[in-house]
Structure 1
């Protein structure tokens, strides 16, 4: 089996945590069976004509031939690139273990179903979720040379080690891959799935209306209002995979996590994708072209409309 470690790339401590996980896994299965992004794509030193696209291609090529994924997701703001990779893997029937040390749970309403992540779609597509939410046990009172901060760090390290070991156990005990249920392949007249951003005031109505005005049947997500958000998440996923197009509003500080999952699933399923972003923002990294915030989302999408006119142009293309 080939194992893919999906993790946030943009800070040293995130990369170090993923490297720790990769090293522990390599000791059990062999280093040649473990793929660690950034490390194994040589991201910092890679030279390419269009570096961001090349990085996307390298990751997608690896995503197309892995046997299992372990994804690290911490806190309420989830990395959109990792979520996109989870969606891609899940749509191909690749089992996914999700590791989190978040001590919060989430719900759609104040008294609603408690979920592991802010968007129930992540819980729905994960094969296993490993959640280690509490600090490690308190140690003996600190020696004179130690501060209470060192003691607190030790408890966090213990929590992290427990989480990594539990995640590896879950990963090595995964079932064989089995594709998720899906609808029929997109046929002539198949609908457009419209995914709104929770960060915007206009909701899904204006994009849905633009699609309907152009003569398209429209499907919108059900998981945020359903009594069973996890089951409705799987229905949303199946609807995307059998749609003709996915129109995803990616406005906000990052692509919303569930939206990123759907973009990955649509890409793996051959569904045409447009990432709507009326106020584009860019990221800049050494040696890389300016990217529309996340290069995985950018290059997964065939169009990036910034207004309704551009949406209509994409719908007729």
Structure 2
């Protein structure tokens, strides 16, 4: 029996409800035991463990290693970093991914750009097998007051997206591009942050070059990239050739690209490092403190505060 993993944002009740709504529709098509819903199926609310965040990461990773396809719910300009990490992991294994979005916005690099993308990182459309996009409300009508009717319109959009995703999965979607590393090749992949502060890449590159590594700096989000979609393909090809990766997590959140890279590296057994993000910590009942989404924190090999620390990681 095939196993389908629903990757979704889960820190608020409405996000968990959305994930459950989609999972329910998939279960109607494939059966309850064929669908895995994080938080629900790890019983996160009641799980007790001295390092609960790490244990949740391990449970999700164990399931990710056994799935046959993924449905990823993505919406808004600020994509969930845990979902993106899970997408990267699935891609690293060549698992088909159906992305669902009901976002009515599309994205481009400049105000006058002819490029319009479903997601704010041009790497994502390349990695997912199929995108289900339902940006409009469902048809109006039905009983109740205007708020009930508006709720019904939104639920119809989600239902349409979930049903289309189930239909795509039933037809065996094309697998995602794999990301197998070339063993022994001394090439390092560098993923800068779209939020700026890019001086670290030059300094890290110097350390890597001094130890015999070549480097590839991701350029798809650079203001000089005239064709970000094509550059995204080049970036992914470079990651597939790299033996280690460095990602910049600094900023208000983990950028989607950094999360994708972390997931792919975890799935393919490659070390991935990051400068310490210097952000506020998050706290949740029963969990140890996290400086980023637990899929990010425990997916990283290590963080470093300065170049000496980074050099020691390389030597170790």
TM-score (norm 1): 0.91
Cα offsets for 1:82-135 (capped at 9, x unmatched): 000001101111000000011111112331421110001111101000000011
Mean Cα deviation higher: 228-237 or 86-95: 228-237
Q: Structure 1 residues 228, 296: CA separation in 2 closer, same or farther (over 3 Å shift)? A: same
Cα offsets for 1:234-284 (capped at 9, x unmatched): 332232233121111111222100111111111111111112224143211
In the TM superposition, residue 184 of structure 1 has moved relative to its aligned partner by 5.5
The gaps in structure 1 that reach 5 residues or longer are: none
Note the 1:118-157 alignment, pairs <5 A: 118-139=120-141, 146=145, 148-157=146-155
The equivalent of 1:82 in structure 2 is 83
Q: Take 2:128 and 2:105, find their aligned partners in 1: how far apart are those partners?
A: 18
The gaps in structure 2 that reach 5 residues or longer are: none
In the TM superposition, residue 79 of structure 1 has moved relative to its aligned partner by 0.3
SS in 2 for 1:38: coil
SS in 2 for 1:304: strand
Cα offsets for 1:13-61 (capped at 9, x unmatched): 1111111111111122111111110011111111122111111111111
Q: Structure 1 residues 289, 167: CA separation in 2 closer, same or farther (over 3 Å shift)? A: same
Match of 1:170 among 147, 168, 171: 168
- The answer to whether 1:218 aligns with 2:221 is no
Q: Take 1:208 and 1:109, find their aligned partners in 2: how far apart are those partners?
A: 29
Contact 1:8 1:72 in 2 (8 A): yes
Q: Structure 1 residues 23, 184: CA separation in 2 closer, same or farther (over 3 Å shift)? A: closer
The equivalent of 2:40 in structure 1 is 39
- The answer to whether 1:200 aligns with 2:211 is no
The equivalent of 2:184 in structure 1 is 187
In the TM superposition, residue 215 of structure 1 has moved relative to its aligned partner by 4.8
Q: Take 1:85 and 1:115, find their aligned partners in 2: how far apart are those partners?
A: 21
In the TM superposition, residue 182 of structure 1 has moved relative to its aligned partner by 4.8
Contact 2:281 2:291 in 1 (8 A): yes
Measured on the aligned residues, the alpha-carbon RMSD in Å equals 2.1
In the TM superposition, residue 214 of structure 1 has moved relative to its aligned partner by 5.2
Report the count of equivalent residues: 311
Q: Take 1:124 and 1:57, find their aligned partners in 2: how far apart are those partners?
A: 27
Mean Cα deviation higher: 160-169 or 22-31: 160-169
Q: Structure 1 residues 176, 47: CA separation in 2 closer, same or farther (over 3 Å shift)? A: same
Contact 2:179 2:264 in 1 (8 A): no
Contact 2:191 2:246 in 1 (8 A): yes
Note the 1:287-302 alignment, pairs <5 A: 287-302=286-301
Q: Take 1:297 and 1:229, find their aligned partners in 2: how far apart are those partners?
A: 25
Q: Take 1:300 and 1:282, find their aligned partners in 2: how far apart are those partners?
A: 17
SS in 1 for 2:183: coil
Q: Take 1:115 and 1:63, find their aligned partners in 2: how far apart are those partners?
A: 27
The equivalent of 1:2 in structure 2 is 3
Note the 1:273-288 alignment, pairs <5 A: 273-288=272-287
Mean Cα deviation higher: 222-231 or 71-80: 222-231
SS in 1 for 2:282: coil
